Structure 1
């Protein structure tokens, strides 16, 4: 897993930056808005994870490659997002977000384990990595964050992080990333396709 980790991290950054840029397109923002939403989505979760792990300084400050990736993807989306039909753009955002969710769940959990975090803490940090950037994105865009809706979203990330940690411990470190990714993407993908949602709180009588 170690050799794949940087590549998976960059892929997750690029995909999440794209979701931020597509949200900016839906909100008809200017190029700065595209770059802002793309960047906070791409690096927000990983930044919080690294801060919680006590990594100083946060890696992208010394090596801004991920910030450059976010800006490049966002600006590319600014000139090409009009090719998506308005009705289909939300669908593209959901599927791209599902891909980013799976990638960041895996990389977040893996980095936490490599930093020496206990398995339970690593699982929680995997979920934080996968969801926090999207929360910032949606809040800046004036939307209710996906993580706070009734969608099967955080649940998918949590299941994948647990699967990754278990596979890393009991199966093989060479397969943990595949297993974790597959669990997250499968659950989130089925939820998007079939409209799965969690029960919500309702008024009680008496």
Structure 2
């Protein structure tokens, strides 16, 4: 049985999702460089970061083939970039500063979370489960990356809202969907909500109570 149709994402949004995948892969490259991994290790860490959340979601929803199997081009691009990761990172550091990488990560969080929620809705999942699938899609790549690199996941050691932004944003998406707003606008608005919430709480150094 093939994967369900995903009508809530247009071709344009699928392109943006591809950019988010590459943004997450770059965070994997950076982590691999910190640990001085070779090309094989770099590829595995980048792949886990880019597709970890979506793979966990697909396993839980029993979707086949996995997203990264269905979109082999992304895997090939990450593989090639992994071979030249040190050079790629040096080039990227000249173009992107730390703030730009934070924004890219927030964009990835927003789009992955909303796309995960949308996919879960398309499979007939109830609202709360769909939201949790969205959060899993958005945050689990980073968790797997940190575990593979033998570190405590950033999600657990940094009390600034991250998964919380995704959780609230996914509910916002469900509200817009319930109001029958155009699906494209719903995805964009909810993704933007998560992006802005993540950046604002980071800028203001908002922290969740321990």
TM-score by length of 2: 0.83
Aligned length: 197
Q: Where do 5+ consecutive residues of structure 1 fail to align?
A: 201-206
**Partner Cα separation in structure 2 for residue 75 and residue 187 of structure 1:** 35
The residue that corresponds to 1:14 in the other structure is: 22
Q: After TM superposition, which residue ranges in structure 1, 4 or more long, deviate above 4 angstroms?
A: none
- Choose the corresponding residue for 2:149, options 141, 159, 166: 141
**Partner Cα separation in structure 2 for residue 113 and residue 8 of structure 1:** 20
Q: Is this contact kept in 2: 1:138–1:146, CA < 8 A?
A: yes
Q: Is this contact kept in 1: 2:33–2:42, CA < 8 A?
A: yes
The residue that corresponds to 2:165 in the other structure is: 156
Q: Where do 5+ consecutive residues of structure 2 fail to align?
A: 1-7
The residue that corresponds to 2:116 in the other structure is: 108
The residue that corresponds to 2:202 in the other structure is: 192
Q: Is this contact kept in 2: 1:43–1:66, CA < 8 A?
A: no
Distance 1:74 1:96, change over 3 A: farther
Superposition map of 1:1-206 within 5 A: 1-4=8-11, 5-83=13-91, 84=93, 93-148=101-156, 149-172=158-181, 173-200=183-210
TM-score by length of 1: 0.85
Distance 1:186 1:175, change over 3 A: same
- SS of 2:184's equivalent? coil
RMSD value, Cα = 2.2
- SS of 2:20's equivalent? helix
**Partner Cα separation in structure 2 for residue 92 and residue 27 of structure 1:** 22
**Partner Cα separation in structure 1 for residue 188 and residue 70 of structure 2:** 30
